[in-house]
Amino acid sequence: MFEQLSDRVTGILKKLTGQARLSPDNIRESMREVRRALLEADVPVAVAKEFVARVEERAVGEDVLKSLTPGQQVVGVVREELEKLLGNTSVTLAGSPFVPTIVLLAGLQGSGKTTFAGKLAVWLKARAKRTLLASADVYRPAAIDQLERVAQQAGAGFWRAPEGTAPRDIAAGALDDARKRGFDFLVLDTAGRLHIDEALMAELAELKKVLRAHQVMLVVDGMIGQESVRVGQTFAERVGVDGLVLTKMDGDARGGAALSLRHVTGKPILFLGTGEKLDGLEVFDAGRLAGRILGMGDMIGLVEKAQQAVTEQDAARMAEKMRKSDFTLEDFLEQLRSVRKMGPLEDLLKMMPGMPKGAAEQLGPQKDTFKRYEAILCSMTLKERRNPRVLDGSRRRRIAAGSGTHVSDVNRLIRDFEKARVMMKALKKGPRGLAGLQGRMRRR
């Protein structure tokens, strides 16, 4: 997401920060390059020109040019203007005082509405909210069956109308069922079209009226580039939308849709959808996204991923094991699985501030180490994981054969595990232990 744009913009700004003094001329030249980068990222011409003009106006001011770190000041201005473009104030899905809160999903066919409905149900479930899903898409073959499968995967409720029921009657029936069964949210998936047409707009307007929807969320495919701006404008004008959802953002390295939609429609972006799994949903945050575009990482996002992967109780239990030097290969396996739950290692590296450009790509074959280590650990018996001292040559050969790896891989895992144990013991002893560890490292 935003990889192409991030590479271009960070490269341009790095040249500025590397100069001791800046002039209006070299700032304007850099801003022209930024504008080209925005256009290549599918940002509409008018939006790119307005953004660059605002940055340039502020960046050539005396406060920036005469500061001790003019380059850093320009980066700060770019970040602030990016946040304004994306929407300074974070907006999230708000519940209604009237139960259930009714969310109507709108969008073109193929935009990812059905998958998003499941992701939203999972997101709400994590916040102790019960969700009922229903589909008013009576045109696309098996659309209702698809949503039912998604509801099962998400652990959400599902309501199906008798075959042949009209969309407005499906909406009314789903609302009645949600009220009777005490659901907190009703999410109604609707039919899409391959293009915007009168029938689509009229049906959505009718469903919105029947349901008295609290939130109309426009789901937009982030990969359709500048077309997403036209889609957003049309739906906002003809139906009226309360918030935007950008899906498939992991499939577009440009990201111009996210930079344009908020500005053009005046509607807030609520969520970003990434991947096909139902946990691939991010709450949109302009500050964090601006930081990622400028190569500043996203520590808040990293912490959130860690919190989702490891409960507070598990973290406390593991910390106690480390403190007592009672850390086993069984615990090592648990830690590996927790890290893997957070997502691909290269994605986690990109979220770390100050990580050198290309560090994730330099992982190479190392990025598969976690998978290989997990296979090796699963090939061990419980006794072997809890007492690594019993791992003699014959056991290691059996483990390698059972995991589809080599004995050298098994040996490497055990060496890495022992290094981790040595480090934990040193940390337990405080500064003296760390000093001793550093001494041993130097002698090696």
Q: What is the pLDDT of residues 317-350, one digit of tens each?
A: 555 555 555 678 888 788 777 766 666 555 555 5
- Residue 95 maps to a domain: no
Measured distance CA(326)–CA(17) in Å, rounded? 48
pLDDT in tens, 103-144: 999 998 888 899 999 999 999 999 999 999 999 999 888 899
- Residue 96 maps to a domain: no
How, if at all, do strands 185-189 and 243-247 pair?
A: unpaired
- Average pLDDT value for residue range 222-236: 81
Question: Do both 110 and 60 map to the same domain?
Answer: no
pLDDT of 2: 67
Bond prior to 100 in cis (omega within 30° of 0): yes
Question: Do both 250 and 324 map to the same domain?
Answer: no
- Residue 10 maps to a domain: yes
- Average pLDDT value for residue range 155-182: 93
Whether pLDDT at 49 is above 60: yes
Domain holding 339: CATH number?
A: 1.10.260.30
Which of residues 58, 86, 114 is at a domain's end? Answer: 86
Question: Do both 233 and 195 map to the same domain?
Answer: yes
pLDDT of 367: 57
Confidence of residue 154 (pLDDT cuts 50, 70, 90): very high
Question: Do both 116 and 254 map to the same domain?
Answer: yes
Instruction: Write the CA distances from 48 to 51, 70, 73, 292, integer angstroms.
Output: 5, 23, 21, 19
Confidence of residue 440 (pLDDT cuts 50, 70, 90): very low
Question: Do both 267 and 394 map to the same domain?
Answer: no
Residue 381: other Cβ atoms inside 10 A: 12
DSSP 386-438: H-GGG--HHHHHHHHHHHT--HHHHHHHHHHHHHHHHHHHHHHTTHHHHHHHH
- Residue 201 maps to a domain: yes
Nearest to 5 by CA among 56, 47, 41, 51: 41
- Average pLDDT value for residue range 292-296: 72
pLDDT of 18: 72
The one-letter amino acid at 155: G
Whether pLDDT at 88 is above 70: yes
In a 13 Å sphere around the CA of 443, the CA atoms on its Cβ side amount to 6
Measured distance CA(370)–CA(413) in Å, rounded? 10
Question: Do both 19 and 159 map to the same domain?
Answer: no
- Lowest mean pLDDT of 60-64, 93-97, 362-366, name the range: 362-366
Which of residues 34, 57, 86 is at a domain's end? Answer: 86
Confidence of residue 178 (pLDDT cuts 50, 70, 90): very high
pLDDT of 443: 47
Query: Percent of the chain scored above 90 by pLDDT?
Result: 26
Q: List Cβ neighbours of 60 (8 Å cut-off, separation of 6 or more).
A: 24, 27, 28
Confidence of residue 20 (pLDDT cuts 50, 70, 90): low
- Residue 20 maps to a domain: yes
Which of residues 296, 331, 359 is at a domain's end? Answer: 296
The listed range with the strongest mean pLDDT (51-65, 173-187, 306-320) is 173-187
Query: Percent of the chain scored above 70 by pLDDT?
Result: 77
- Average pLDDT value for residue range 204-218: 91
- Residue 45 maps to a domain: yes
Measured distance CA(348)–CA(26) in Å, rounded? 35
Contact, 183 vs 96, CB < 8 A?
Answer: no
Q: 3-class SS at 243?
A: strand
pLDDT of 394: 92
pLDDT of 42: 78
Domain holding 73: CATH number?
A: 1.20.120.140
How, if at all, do strands 269-273 and 101-106 pair?
A: unpaired
Task: State the total domains in the chain.
Answer: 3
Rounded to two decimals, what is the model's pTM? 0.67
- Residue 341 maps to a domain: yes
Question: Do both 352 and 408 map to the same domain?
Answer: yes
Q: 3-class SS at 272?
A: strand
Give me the domain span that covers residue 107.
Answer: 101-296
- Lowest mean pLDDT of 215-224, 238-247, 281-290, 420-429, name the range: 420-429
> Helix and strand tally (H, E) in the chain?
21, 8
- Average pLDDT value for residue range 376-402: 91
pLDDT of 344: 59
pLDDT of 5: 77
- Residue 93 maps to a domain: no
Whether pLDDT at 392 is above 80: yes
- pLDDT mean across residues, the chain: 79
Question: Do both 134 and 28 map to the same domain?
Answer: no
DSSP 131-198: EEEEE---SSTTHHHHHHHHHHHHT-EEE-PPTT--HHHHHHHHHHHHHHTT-SEEEEE----SS--H
pLDDT of 131: 96
Question: Do both 124 and 21 map to the same domain?
Answer: no
Domain holding 187: CATH number?
A: 3.40.50.300
Question: Do both 378 and 314 map to the same domain?
Answer: yes
- Average pLDDT value for residue range 241-248: 89
